[in-house]
Amino acid sequence: MADQYVCPNCGAAGLTVFYETHDAPVHSVLLLPTQEEALNFPRGEIKLGFCDQCGFITNVAYDPAPQDYSSRYEATQSFSPTFNAFSRRLANDLIARYDLRDKDVIEIGCGQGEFLVELCELGGNRGVGFDPAYDAERGLKADPEQIRFIADYYSERYTDYQADFVCCKMTLEHIDQTADFVSMVRRSIADRTDTIVFFQIPNATRVLRDLAFWDIYYEHCSYFTPGSLAYLFRRSGFDVLDVRTDYDDQYLMIEAKPACDPALVTADDAALAETRRDVEYFRTRIPAKLREWQTTVRDLHQQGQRIVIWGGGSKGVAFLTTLGFYDEIEYAVDINPRKHSMFMAGTGQETVGPDFLREYQPDTVIVMNPIYCDEIQRDLDRLGVSARLLPL
Ligand SMILES: [Zn+2]
């Protein structure tokens, strides 16, 4: 029990810790050019605490100080056709839902600008993207009259940039003070109450039910269920228009607009009871799940199999470090060429491109995200690699 810990989502005191891992690299996706740097990478503790008042889950041991969202931060997914198809479908869907044509769009945490450019090009919109990791050298080029990028954290300093649509994808889970952040977004919108706000984050309900420990890593300090996310937005002065999941339930999305008449907000009891059950399920089943993976991989290794993981990002780092795999798995495969010849934080595997497998001929490929299995199988067929795919 983290008795003194105050829930950053609702302000209640006392969170129950239900999962702990030690020695998690404080970053999973920084580009690390030497194995030594990867093995000696700074570590931190993860202690997931559950708030019984609002259903929020957070790493109560999280320290934001070592987080470095510089241009060494490499999290783009845009080398994957599966991901790109999803992204385009989402952009078209949002444009249709909210008539985003000839409108002003802000994206908070825009990465290298892929989604913002898509929204602006498909809908003929004007955009401003904020991200401290945005790198003008390699970020998407766009007509500066139409799209601008600001390499900084979004804050109230930028209230002058008003928009019809504010989107924020895969960012809120990196922010520990969640209510402060969403309230800041609400204040920045001020009296433009027609503004639509869209947030997308990982879906913690799926993480709990799938025992997806590979989705729990240091950068992600905040974990939301549909109930705790809707609660946060209502509490921060929004009316919630829709909450849904996508991408095989991996992503949780919310659409909201400023509330004209903010009412007293209480958590949804039914949703809270469901999360309580999911947390308890995770707490009791996770030790066996970890043992199962350790046994599977160590057995294959002892049989002399060559094993690689496919996915050199955060899931890969969390999988390898949580299970403590150093020698059992020699390489991590990734389709992002910027990651090639870099090393996995914590366990030090070299990241290689798919072509490397033509020579290496692994026996087993552990797939860090099953949604890419078809795409990976096509790559392996093309390369003449007959390895068995083992999805998480
Ligand atoms: Zn709470």
- Would you state the pLDDT for residue 69? 67
Give me ligand 1 centre to Cα 11, in Å: 6
Give me ligand 1 centre to Cα 7, in Å: 5
- Would you state the pLDDT for residue 75? 67
pLDDT tens digits for range 215-243? 999 999 999 999 999 999 999 999 999 99
Give me ligand 1 centre to Cα 8, in Å: 7
Residue 2 has pLDDT above 70, yes or no: no
Strand 165-169 relative to strand 238-246, pairing: unpaired
pLDDT tens digits for range 162-213? 899 999 999 999 999 999 999 999 999 988 999 999 999 999 999 999 999 9
Q: Which of 272, 274, 294, 271 is nearest to 213 (CA)?
A: 294
DSSP string, 199-249: EEEEBHHHHHHTT-GGG--TT--EEB-HHHHHHHHHHTTEEEEEEEEETTT
Average pLDDT over residues 330-359: 96
Give me ligand 1 centre to Cα 228, in Å: 8
Give me ligand 1 centre to Cα 289, in Å: 28
Q: Which of 108, 91, 372 is nearest to 250 (CA)?
A: 372
Which distant-in-sequence residues (6+ apart) come within 8 Å of 201 by Cβ?
170, 171, 172, 173, 222, 224, 229, 251, 252
pLDDT tens digits for range 137-154? 877 777 888 999 999 999
Q: State the chain's maximal CA–CA distance in angstroms.
A: 65
**Which residues are found with C-beta within 5 Å of the ion, ligand 1?**
7, 9-10, 12, 51, 53-54, 56
- Structure token digits, residue 260: 């004209």
- Domains in the chain: ranges and CATH: 81-264 (3.40.50.150), 300-391 (3.40.50.720)
Give me ligand 1 centre to Cα 319, in Å: 28
pLDDT tens digits for range 36-60? 999 999 999 999 999 999 999 999 9
Give me ligand 1 centre to Cα 46, in Å: 18
Residue 10 has pLDDT above 80, yes or no: yes
- Would you state the pLDDT for residue 359? 97
Residue with tokens 């892929």: 114
**Mean pLDDT, the chain, as a whole number?**
93
